[in-house]
């Protein structure tokens, strides 16, 4: 599908998957707006490529609403919203409540409010999409990362609810990845253990998420679906 003049919003695009998807869209001639919380090198890279970059702090309602207000000063329409912003916090005995609250705000409250308050921007574009980036961990739960998993599972539920609410004008889908990219300091033992969890046993990189995003944006007959991109972990 040819690029739209209406921009695509990607939240949390300063590094890794969000940065990669933003760059690929820009390379395809698609206008992009991104949000970022930290001024990383990737933010300047996106500016140099022509993206509009907006600071956002999704850890509170006031921060989310401030971002929405700022966004609407830069565009009157959107081709799509890709909710990629994510937070992972350790759930220790003295911080579990604050960690849960923050992850709930980033993974659920921000997408919820942005979807509600920016539907008018999406309705000015045909086609229009919302894509939630979830996590494969929601498939089975996590005894070690309960708050993270629960808030991402809530995002999966938002996919279903908003798909029903906004059909047929706006398609709403999700992508649930497992391991995509190792961190530079991950040792060989950890890497081997992580790769062994999937049937395909590879580190696929961020491109597989762009391919999944492209599929959802280009397919006119998919809504209310979460794509599993996990290398076959569920059959291992």
How far, in Å, CA of 34 to CA of 10, rounded? Answer: 5
Of the candidates 147, 166, 56, 69, the residue with the CA atom closest to the CA atom of residue 108: 147
Distance CA 145, CA 63 (A): 25
Residue 1, token pair as written in the block:
């599908």
Cα angle vertex 230, ends 226, 232, to 5°? Answer: 115
**CA–CA separation, 167 vs 172, rounded Å?**
8
Choosing from 36, 112, 148, 210, which is the catalytic residue? 148
Q: Please give the Cα distance from 166 to 162 (Å, whole number).
A: 6
Q: Tokens at residue 197, please?
A: 């969890």
Q: Does the active-site annotation cover 112?
A: no
Active site residues: 148
């Amino acid at each position: 599908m040819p690029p739209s003049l209406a921009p695509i919003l990607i939240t949390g695009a300063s590094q890794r998957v969000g940065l990669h998807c933003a760059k690929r869209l820009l390379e395809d001639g698609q206008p992009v707006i991104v949000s970022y919380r930290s001024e990383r090198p990737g933010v300047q890279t996106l500016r140099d490529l022509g993206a509009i970059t907006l600071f956002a702090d999704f850890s509170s309602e006031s921060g989310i609403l401030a971002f929405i207000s700022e966004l609407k000063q830069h565009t009157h329409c959107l081709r799509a919203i890709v909710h990629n912003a994510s937070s992972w916090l350790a759930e220790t005995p003295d911080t579990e409540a604050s960690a849960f609250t923050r992850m709930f705000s980033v993974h659920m409250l921000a997408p919820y409010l942005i979807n509600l308050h920016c539907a008018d921007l999406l309705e000015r574009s045909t086609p229009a999409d919302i894509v939630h980036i979830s996590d494969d961990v929601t498939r089975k739960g996590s005894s070690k990362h309960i708050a993270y998993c629960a808030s991402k599972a809530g995002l999966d539920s938002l996919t279903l609810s908003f798909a029903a609410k906004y059909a047929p004008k706006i398609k709403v889908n999700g992508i649930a990845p497992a391991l995509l990219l190792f961190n530079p300091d991950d040792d060989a033992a950890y890497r081997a253990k992580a790769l062994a969890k999937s049937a395909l046993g590879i580190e696929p990189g961020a491109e597989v998420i762009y391919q999944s995003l492209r599929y959802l944006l280009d397919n006119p007959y998919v809504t209310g679906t979460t794509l599993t991109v996990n290398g076959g972990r569920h059959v291992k």
